[in-house]
Chains A and B, each alone.
Chain A
Amino acid sequence: MVADRSEFPGDDGPAWWDHEAGPVVRPYMVTGGRVEPVSADFDLISHVVAITSLAAETRSPEHQLILGVTQEPKSVAEVAARVDLPVGVVRVLLCDLLSDGQIARYDPPDTEELPNIETLQAVIHGLRAL
């Protein structure tokens, strides 16, 4: 979401380039050509939260952008949407931030089993209350 970037320094106003012309920089330039995260993959609903301040040094502006949107816990899918980068790229950047000790990750239970009865009842209750 381009609009969300306006709160970060160095990005004032709408982008000047034409989106129809395609990305100015190929997405994987951001990751230095890496396409596979180094450590275990991040699920789309894994949550990440920044554990360093925004002033911390990062490897790139994109890493900084991610630190900016994860000041509150966010799902990986949400982070990707907010920084407007492909999920595959965001996963690689998150791995960098994780190994640099700048974010913490929280994974959903690693299981194919359905949630327990109590959780399902809580979901039904919550949906009815919407």
Chain B
Amino acid sequence: MDSVRSDAAPPQALKILVAGGFGAGKTTMVGAVSEISPLRTEEVLTTAGMDTDDTTGVATKTTTTVAMDFGRITINPSLVLYLFGTPGQNRFWFLWDELATGALGAVVIADTRRLADSFAAIDYFEQRGTPFVVAVNCFDAEQVYTDQQVREALDIDGHVPILLCDARDRLSVKNVLITLVEHVLLMVRSAVPAA
């Protein structure tokens, strides 16, 4: 790596992924706590989407654009946290690997009207060993299920935190992120042999 290190080095960067099904509130959650308006990066894919894209009538179309929304939180002058909303469509899983590499952890947003949409993300982080919490997005403050019911429906291990949240509410999202980092801290502590 030809990286440069000096006293003027930019802050240490950490990232948290925000995953969930289409319309679950990923971008809303990023926007609720980001100090900048959520920005969008795009990746142009030339072949990956060809098998599944319906190209009828658009025979010349050979590219697909996949967007990732992200936001930023400056923790202190030497520490910056980036939040990345993961691409929703399952066929862009390969992009998740890059996003998940080096990630501090992930928030899986579950929409109780479409719980099954969050299965794929939960499976992914479980298999990868990425620490995650499940945030049940309560639209219109409508709390239909308890977190225990959601835990059973999603078949989530007892140690994975599940909490209800409102993805539009800054305090609520802040609480989700704190819960995630505390969960990670617990994992790191338990991995360190007691002195």
Contacts and interface: CB of A to CB of B under 8 A. Distances in A.
Interface of A: 1, 27-28, 39-40, 43-47, 49, 73, 75, 77-78, 80-82, 86-89, 98, 104-112, 114-117, 119-128, 130
Nearest to A79: B41
A75 B44 CA distance: 19
B43 A47 contact: no
Interface string B145-182: 00000000000000000000000001000100110011
Contact of B181 (A27, A110, A120): A120
A105 B2 contact: yes
Contacts of A111: 102
A47 B44 CA distance: 22
Interface in B100-136: 101-102, 104, 131
Contact of A106 (B9, B40, B68, B184): B9
A100 to B, nearest CB: 13
A97 B188 CA distance: 38
How big is the B interface, by class? Answer: 35 or more
A106 B41 contact: no
Interface of B: 1-5, 9-15, 33, 39-44, 65, 68, 70, 72-73, 75-76, 79, 81-82, 84, 98-99, 101-102, 104, 131, 170, 174, 177-178, 181-182, 184-185, 187-189, 192
Given A77-B41, A106-B4, A122-B79, A127 B12 contact: no
B79 A114 contact: no
Contact of A44 (B41, B131, B192): B41
A126 B40 contact: no
A47 B131 CA distance: 25
8 contacts: A75-B72, A78-B72, A107-B1, A108-B12, A114-B187, A115-B104, A117-B188, A124-B178
State the main secondary structure of chain B at its contact with A: mixed
A88 to B, nearest CB: 6
B73 A40 contact: no
Nearest to B3: A107
B50 to A, nearest CB: 16
Nearest to A99: B2
B76 A124 contact: no
A33 to B, nearest CB: 12
A96 B103 CA distance: 27
B44 A86 contact: yes
Contacts of B98: 44
Nearest to A105: B3
Given A115-B184, A130-B170, 7 more contacts: A86-B43, A98-B2, A105-B2, A114-B184, A114-B188, A120-B184, A127-B174
A117 B10 contact: no
Given A105-B3, A123-B181, A130-B73, A88 B101 contact: no
A117 B191 CA distance: 11
